[in-house]
Amino acid sequence: MSAPLPGIVITGASGRMGQMLIRSVSENDRMRLAGAVERKGHDWVGRDVGEAMGGAALGVTVTDDALSVFAEAQAVIDFTAPAATVEFAHLAAQARLCHVIGTTGMEEQHLAKIQAAARHAVIVRAGNMSLGVNLLTLLTEKVARALDAEYDIEVIEAHHNRKVDAPSGTALMLGEAAARGRGVALADVADRGRDGITGARQTGDIGFAVIRGGDIVGEHDVMFAAAGERITLRHVASDRSVFARGALKAALWGQDKAPGEYDMIDVLGLRD
Ligand SMILES: NC(=O)C1=CN([C@@H]2O[C@H](COP(=O)(O)OP(=O)(O)OC[C@H]3O[C@@H](n4cnc5c(N)ncnc54)[C@H](OP(=O)(O)O)[C@@H]3O)[C@@H](O)[C@H]2O)C=CC1
Ligand SMILES: O=C(O)C1=N[C@H](C(=O)O)C[C@H](O)C1
């Protein structure tokens, strides 16, 4: 008899990523959809998640009781909001299932709680789950290491008009990679908001610029600008399925790992 397929729970089921993940999990023959979670009072709670999405029934009823579905599953994929993710991390640690976190906009207080939860369960967290962006972080680090501070580093990101956090999680990942390449701490050199008489750019700063508009899925440039030349590394996501693909891979990868916090570089086997 073959082993049962790992059961996957999706939180924030009605969201842009939630719906993409429900579709991806239910179409994947290496896993089964084990639950769909929405917040208390949401009008999807109590409905079949496939029907709530406007399609065929999937045999999974949306619940607001996360722990009840976590207890019967092997992984939860969570693209929601920082406060919700901290709560889910606590429940996932209780149920000892793998928690894949795509949520961005985390502050220190959220990260500390997630780190505590990772003592009891596997957590895979990344501001961007796509293969392309994770490769781009490695390239960014390498280019930043090769160039001196005469090359001004600017990270430019563009997203849809519903996005609530800025700079994006991906932009911050790329900024961290550039800072690592330079051998500095991003917190010491990040320039995140320019407006008015800002003074000239400080040598060594890593600047961030943010665009919000329409239905842009996610675009990121890392620019290295010097006198007489400019290098730009670019990633363009045109479909959210690239994020879902990485998240599903992470959920399977996490099944036999020891408790701890991991990222997509671990999942993709790209760590030196
Ligand atoms: N790491 C990656 O690769 C990617 C990360 N993201 C990140 O994922 C997150 C979600 O993005 P997106 O899908 O576009 O956002 P949406 O706003 O479309 O979806 C968020 C979902 O989470 C739900 N939610 C919020 N709080 C709770 C809660 N307490 N309990 C249950 N559900 C809750 C929302 O419900 P409600 O509508 O009721 O508020 C909503 O359904 C963002 O942080 C985004 O930056 C996005 C794409 C890729
Ligand atoms: O909110 C989004 O949409 C996205 N968020 C992530 C981020 O903050 O970088 C990843 C992706 O760019 C889409």
Complex ipTM? 0.98
Query: Which amino acids bring their CB within 6 angstroms of ligand 2?
Result: 104, 127-128, 159, 163, 168-170, 218
Residue 267: its H or E element: helix 264-267
pLDDT at 272: 80
User: CA–CA separation, 92 vs 136, rounded Å?
Assistant: 30
Measured in Å, residue 44 CA sits from the centre of ligand 2 at 24
Ligand minimally distant from the alpha carbon of residue 9: 1
159 is catalytic: yes
The tens digit of pLDDT for each residue in 246-259 reads 999 999 999 999 99
99 is catalytic: no
Nearest CA to ligand 2 atom 4: 218
The tens digit of pLDDT for each residue in 81-115 reads 999 999 999 999 999 999 999 999 999 999 999 99
3-class state of residue 125 by DSSP: strand
Nearest CA to ligand 2 atom 13: 218
| Strand ranges for the chain from DSSP E | 7-11, 32-37, 62-63, 75-78, 98-101, 122-125, 152-159, 190-191, 206-212, 218-226, 229-237, 260-262
Ligand minimally distant from the alpha carbon of residue 129: 1
